[in-house]
Amino acid sequence: MDHRQQPSALSSDRFDHCPWLFEKEATEDRRAVQRERQQSLGGDSEVGERCYVAESAAVFPDLLRLGDDSYIAAHAYVTGTLTTGTDCTLNPFTVARGTVSLGTGVRIGAHTSLLGFNHSTAPDRPVFQQPQTSRGITVGDDVWIGSHVVVVDGVTIGDHCVVGAGAVVTKDLPAWTVVAGNPARRLRDRRATGGRQRPSIPAGDDGDGDALARFAETARTQAADILARCWTGDHYTDRPGASPTVRAHCDAVEISDLLLSSAPEQLDRTEHIERLASLQDRATGLVPELGEQAPTMDADGFIGEGPALYHVLSVGYALELLGASFPQPICGVSDMTTSQLIVRLEELPWRDSAWGAGAWIDSWATAAHWNLRHPTTSHPTPGTLEALFGWLLTRADPWTGMWGSPSTTAGRLQVVNGYYRLTRGSFAQFGMPVPHPERVVDAVLDHSRDARYFGAGHENACNVLDVAHPLWLAFLSGLKSSGPDGRHVFPAQWHDSFGAVCATGVVDAGSGW
């Protein structure tokens, strides 16, 4: 082997897969090779300035017009007629065949196929003998087409559209449309994403995005009346006629903040804060149920069950939305030693009640989160948070990314629902990626096929959300940078799942995630 050839080969392979690096890093020898590559393209070909055509790409056009600052990356397959504006990218393994026209600033993800031709399907002869037809594909300016997308012949994609990974586009897309799924369905208008902006409800479109927007608008319209009906004159209830609870008051604050961007009108903001803050027990830092005494602490200084465990979350978040916080730390968490925490983790009911185990970790980690933000508290005992995450990371099942055991009678219900509670308070709240995110996606999607919980007439909101949230978190944990434009993409093996998640409205396909 001639080792003098190795650097050139490595450089070529690197630029083929990372063509955005060529303009800044290529040597003059490499630039000469690239000029020869462009000049050798067949057909009627014109390539603009600062472009790159991978040596490993199969480019056999009848007509090619590649605009300035554009590239065709490794193993792409281009035939027929391809015209692009400036700043267009065909990433690795992209297929563009037939007649394809791209505007300016078009990003096409890896393994995507733009098929601007078709076969006739008359019954009088075999398919391989049928004549080809071509209406062509037209893509506007500023369009992002994700990975593993298929766009069929005759489709026009308007300016500023976003096509979620794994979508199959069979119909024209108006400008600013965000779509995902198979077949691709409209999720929303790209201009309506971000911040606390309320989505508009376009008329005459029955897509999933419109259904969600209509639902949100209905919820906003009804929210004030529902809160008023659940107000007894002194406390909030879950529903008219039920007993008042701490959680009902917290739910009212969260509903009002989300839908009305204000505190519930039954009390002013200061009164809401005083009501909730005054519920905290001074000795323990916990919040008992209305009319009940503070819970008795276990030997390690914390509790294992009961309403006060969940009130760490609900009261803490309600106070935060109101611009306040717990007046004092939660003592059982700040005083617990590392050894006590490890013993508690080992004794949690992982086999019989993975949800209960996850709920306990959610509460303990959230209490630690509040304590760290408290202006006067001592931080948790040194090493306890490290011990929590170390224990979790070393106990996660490498085949599912989860904790606990599935049941022959309940399947993965406890494990998946408990995963949401556990990771919500720990990994998500402390900004850490979850372990084995690819395995988590597989396990959650497998659970979502269980007809006992997701078959017709068997769904409930908690089970659906406990599927959607882990998928979202796993996707975020698995993100990686795609290159020079700073966008993020999902690992290739998740692209098919991404379209399904987008179709639920949970992941914003136009947000850059």
Domain boundaries, the chain: 3-159, 230-323, 329-478
The conformation of residue 3, written as its DSSP 8-state character, comes to: G
pLDDT (0 to 100) of residue 123: 82
Nearest to 150 by CA among 123, 130, 168: 168
SS3 200: coil
- Answer CATH for 3-159 from 2.40.128.20, 1.10.10.1100, 3.20.20.70, 2.160.10.10: 2.160.10.10
The pLDDT profile of the chain, 513 residues, written as one tens digit per residue, is 343 344 444 456 788 998 988 988 889 999 999 999 999 998 999 999 999 999 999 999 999 999 999 999 999 999 999 999 999 999 999 999 999 999 999 999 999 999 999 887 788 888 888 888 889 999 999 999 999 999 999 999 999 999 999 899 999 999 999 999 888 888 888 887 443 444 444 444 445 556 777 888 888 899 999 999 999 999 999 999 999 999 999 999 999 999 988 999 999 999 999 999 999 999 999 999 999 999 999 999 999 999 999 999 999 999 999 999 999 999 989 889 999 999 999 999 999 999 999 999 999 999 999 998 877 655 667 889 999 999 999 999 999 999 999 988 899 999 999 999 999 999 999 989 999 999 999 999 999 999 999 988 887 889 999 999 999 898 887 754 344 444 444 444 444 444 444 443 333 333 322
Concatenating the DSSP letter of every residue in 281-336 gives: -TTT---PPTT-PPPPP-TTSS-SSSHHHHHHHHHHHHHHHTT---SS--HHHHH-
pLDDT (0 to 100) of residue 495: 43
45 beta partners: 64
The conformation of residue 105, written as its DSSP 8-state character, comes to: S
**Axis-axis angle for helices 269-277, 307-321 (nearest 10):** 150
Q: Where are the beta strands (DSSP E) in 127-245?
A: 132-133, 137-139, 143-145, 150-151, 156-157, 162-163, 168-169, 177-180, 185-189
pLDDT (0 to 100) of residue 497: 43
SS3 236: strand
Give per-residue pLDDT as tens, 114-131. 999 988 778 888 888 888
pLDDT (0 to 100) of residue 141: 94
pLDDT (0 to 100) of residue 361: 97
pLDDT (0 to 100) of residue 192: 72
